[in-house]
Amino acid sequence: MLHPEGRDRSSVTLAGRSPTLPTRERILRVASGLFATRGYHATTTREIAAAVGIRQPSLFHHFPSKEAILQTLLSSDLDVAVPNAEALAAAEGSASVRLYRYLGQDVAHLANSPYNLSGLYTEEVMRDPAFAPWVRKRARLHAAIERILADGVASGEFVDMPVSIVREAITGVLLRTLTLYSGQDRGGDPGFCEQIVSLVMRAVLIDPSRLPEIRRQAERNRS
């Protein structure tokens, strides 16, 4: 008997169809893309399954729930980003160089990830009690960034604005601009990434003419 979902797989993503990847991995890639473009709650398990090329119940062999798919994606990002940011927050060196390094790492990670991570940090996800542990992890990331920003304000390198607002603005820029580029395996166009980082640095630097020198220092002695 023909299943009502049919067999049409014409509008399926490349990542989802790639036959060399294990199904679990294809699910993560496809789901991250759908979460980013349609939102977490609006994305159905049927859509994910269809894009992967399997039936909806087959998803549950690889993940115990839809939540678990998102949680896996959150871990893949935060388990890298939090230690990076905390190390930079505690490191020696000028706040400008440390912020540049953080931004460079973050942008590169977002742009090079096989997943589209821009659907993870929306209000609809972050306010959902199911993801509270990851919200706490993310709070540590925020605290680390704000420590770097506060150092820069104290040293006179950064404009004197509330650090939580600036951090929120930075998050907004990164998520919004990299939506278009993440999860697409394009090697993350290093020129583009550097432009985004420079845009953010100019916004916070009191003296943006220092930017080339900061860039040079940030790229030297990459820890």
Summarize as ranges the residues that interact with a copy of itself (CB under 8 A).
Answer: 36-42, 119, 122-124, 127-128, 159, 161, 165-166, 168-169, 171-177, 179-180, 192, 195-196, 198-200, 202-204, 208
Residue 55 near which of a copy of itself, DNA, none (CB within 5-8 Å, type-dependent): DNA
Q: Is the CB of 6 or the CB of 191 nearer to DNA?
A: 6
- Cβ atoms 97, 218 nearer than 8 A: yes
| Range in contact with DNA (rule: CB under 7 A) among 65-73, 99-107, 183-191, 192-200 | 65-73
Residue type, 132: A
Written as six digits, the tokens of 68 are 């678990």
Q: Is the CB of 24 or the CB of 140 nearer to DNA?
A: 24
| Burial per residue of 109-130, b for 16 or more beta-carbon CB atoms within 10 angstroms, e otherwise | bbbbbbbbbbbbbbeebeebee
Written as six digits, the tokens of 105 are 């790492």
Min dist CB 23 to a copy of itself, Å, is: 26
- DSSP H or E segment with residue 188: none
Of 219, 25, 23, the closest CA to residue 114 belongs to 25
Among 38, 46, 127, 216, binds DNA (CB under 7 A): 46
Which residues contact DNA (rule: CB under 7 A)?
1, 3, 22-24, 43-46, 49, 54-58, 60-62, 64-67
